[in-house]
Amino acid sequence: MMKKISKKWFSLAIALSASVVVSAAAQAQTWEQWIDYGYPGYSETGESWRTYEYYAAHDYSYRYLSHWDRGLPRVGTATWKTDPLPYHGIYEVRVTFRASENRTPEANYFVVKDMYGNLEEHPISQLGEGVETVVLGRYEYRKGQQPYVLLDGTDDNYSDCADAAFFKLIEVLPDAVGPAVDLLLLRKEK
């Protein structure tokens, strides 16, 4: 009787330690992506976006809503979308812009906040001085998902600045069917 129990616990211990090894390997994974004007994941709407070259901006330039000296209303959207994500996990999302006295007091950023594509709004003042990086948050995304940040500058006639967005893997999470479950099933069949 003792022998049977200890064998059962032994195989459970093997399975658990194997799953620890698997998740430790997964934790070592790194992934990050910048998305900027001209990249496949960048898109915009509206006729008033203009490029300004600036040494401190990501890729040395940024986009901003301009009157184009023709009285155009300064409305438009910019979207930064990732490639299909390599892992189910937690990702940190940041945006960069050049703050100045000409910018909007309320840039309306929307970021995908979960695995289902729901959005979370971050109204951010772009008044100030110099290139700023703002962390929008950390969110759980699934493998293959393409989360994005949308800057909606259609609500008023202020000038929004769109520089870049940055997504960084923080932690890999196990998929819905975890490796520990698979390993236990395999041991049982032997």
**What is the contact surface with Ca ion in residues (CB under 5 A)?**
36, 57-59, 62, 106, 108, 155, 163-164
Is residue 147 within 8 Å of 93, Cβ to Cβ? yes
**In this structure, what is the dihedral angle of CA atoms 132, 138, 144, 149, given to the nearest 10 degrees?**
-40
How does DSSP assign 16-50, residue by residue?
A: HHHHHHHHHHHHT---EEEEETTSTTEEEESS-EE
CB of 131 to Ca ion, least distance (A): 9
CB of 142 to Ca ion, least distance (A): 28
CB of 123 to Ca ion, least distance (A): 7
CA-nearest of 147, 56, 159 to 106 is 159
Work out the number of other CB atoms within 10 angstroms of the CB of residue 66: 18
Give the residue with the Cβ less far from Ca ion, 23 or 61: 61
Give the residue with the Cβ less far from Ca ion, 34 or 170: 34
The Cα–Cα gap between 57 and 82 comes to: 20
Give the residue with the Cβ less far from Ca ion, 83 or 156: 156
Give the residue with the Cβ less far from Ca ion, 11 or 43: 43
CB of 159 to Ca ion, least distance (A): 10
